[in-house]
Amino acid sequence: MAETATPEILPDLEPAEQPATTPEPGWLVICWNDPVNLMEYVTHVFQTVFGWSKVRAERHMLQVHHEGRSVLVRESMEKAEHYVHQLQGYSLHATMERD
């Protein structure tokens, strides 16, 4: 009679050894509505800063216009700061907050 092999059961990894499944907390770049900038200008700025298509830029611009704000991107703190400074350089009201 042939012997059967018993599979080896490996112990579970300790929590510290398990790969991280959740990303690091990010930062949201938010553009707020203001009574100064024209909608076409805001669309142009979004295209320039983020390299977005006109359709995508217009969608976010309309969200800012109708809802008062739009979350533009989720990035690392350094990149979010960079985007906020760029948007503010174009006179848009932009902030960042932790996700």
Q: What is the pLDDT of residues 19-73, one digit of tens each?
A: 555 556 699 999 999 999 999 999 999 999 999 999 999 999 999 999 999 999 9
The predicted structure's pLDDT at residue 5: 63
Tell me the fold of 25-98: Ribosomal Protein L30; Chain: A, (3.30.1390)
The predicted structure's pLDDT at residue 88: 98
Neighbour-count burial of 3, counting CB atoms closer than 10 A to its CB (0-12 exposed, 13-18 middle, 19+ buried) = exposed
- Segments making up each domain of the chain, as ranges: 25-98
The predicted structure's pLDDT at residue 16: 52
Q: What is the pTM of this model?
A: 0.75
Nearest to 91 by CA among 38, 19, 26: 38
